[in-house]
């Protein structure tokens, strides 16, 4: 039997319309471009993969015989296919969001000017969560702030829950749209307690049916996952655990740790 490969999605061209520093450690870029009209509506909160060349630039030739570009994955924070606009937030890593210490994508985001363009792969969709539970628990760091903000905005008005969100400093807190019954707990990376520690300290309702959504740094994600699995027996469809990055390694190195972690979980099941 001949198995046909699924054709690769054609890279899409985005044009920078506006770039602004919305908080000390977050750069927001609004993109335009006709290719955005091709994005499915459910792409909001999903991801695109930004393509960079070996020098960190965005000039890419889309040909099979060319070197594979460097990819960096980011969440679609806002999407308007009718107006062909898309918004992505970039965390500015390093000391004070220093352009020289923020990595390939972060440095590009802080330097880029309106009118410049680049190619992206995708989009990928935001994984849905089980809404039919009594209580929702969210845990996210700054890299997942755009994704968790979309998740919170989609909750039913009567939803009860808690969202523990880590940002770099108090000045990086952003307004969020969420039901009144969902408590927002902000954690600061320059404070005394790590994200996983604050999650463990939360008092959850007794005997609730839970949905847990967690996206953050690799080691913090594993600590939160361990806490949840050690203390609650939840169906797989009620949990989502994902690491968006790993401290001290590039995105490519992070993928290796993610793969090893997934294989370890599979072996334990």
pLDDT band, residue 262 (cuts 50/70/90): confident
- Give the whole-angstrom CA distance, residue 34 versus residue 7: 21
Report the pLDDT value the prediction gives residue 95, as an integer from 0 to 100.
53
Mean pLDDT value across the chain: 89
- Give the whole-angstrom CA distance, residue 25 versus residue 93: 7
pLDDT band, residue 231 (cuts 50/70/90): very high
The answer to whether residue 192 scores a pLDDT higher than 80 is: yes
CA 71 remoteness from chain centre? 14
Rounded to two decimals, the pTM is 0.89
- Lowest model confidence (mean pLDDT) among 4-8, 13-17, 84-88, 108-112: 4-8
pLDDT band, residue 94 (cuts 50/70/90): low
pLDDT band, residue 261 (cuts 50/70/90): confident
């Amino acid at each position: 039997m001949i198995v046909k490969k699924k054709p690769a999605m054609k890279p899409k061209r985005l044009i920078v319309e506006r770039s602004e520093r919305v908080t000390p450690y977050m750069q927001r870029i609004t993109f335009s471009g006709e290719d955005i009209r091709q994005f499915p509506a459910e792409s909001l909160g999903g991801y695109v993969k930004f393509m960079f060349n070996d020098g960190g630039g965005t000039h890419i030739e889309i040909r099979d015989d060319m070197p594979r570009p460097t990819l960096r994955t980011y969440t679609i924070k806002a999407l308007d296919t009718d107006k062909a606009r898309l918004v992505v937030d970039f965390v500015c890593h390093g000391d004070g969001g220093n352009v020289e210490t923020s990595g390939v994508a972060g440095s590009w985001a802080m330097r880029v000017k309106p009118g410049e363009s680049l190619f992206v792969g995708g989009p990928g969709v935001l994984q849905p969560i089980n809404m039919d539970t009594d209580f929702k628990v969210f845990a996210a760091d700054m890299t997942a702030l755009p994704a968790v903000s979309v998740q919170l905005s989609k909750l039913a008005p009567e939803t009860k829950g808690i969202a523990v969100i880590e940002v770099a400093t108090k000045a990086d807190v952003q307004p969020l749209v969420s039901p009144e019954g969902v408590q927002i707990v902000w954690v600061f990376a320059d404070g005394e307690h790590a994200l996983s520690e604050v999650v463990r300290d939360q008092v959850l309702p007794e005997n609730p049916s839970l949905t847990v959504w967690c996206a953050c740094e690799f080691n913090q994600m594993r600590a939160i996952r361990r806490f949840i699995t050690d203390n609650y027996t939840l169906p797989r469809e009620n949990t989502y655990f994902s690491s968006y990055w790993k401290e001290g390694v590039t995105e490519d190195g992070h993928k290796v740790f993610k793969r090893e972690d997934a294989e370890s979980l599979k072996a334990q099941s």
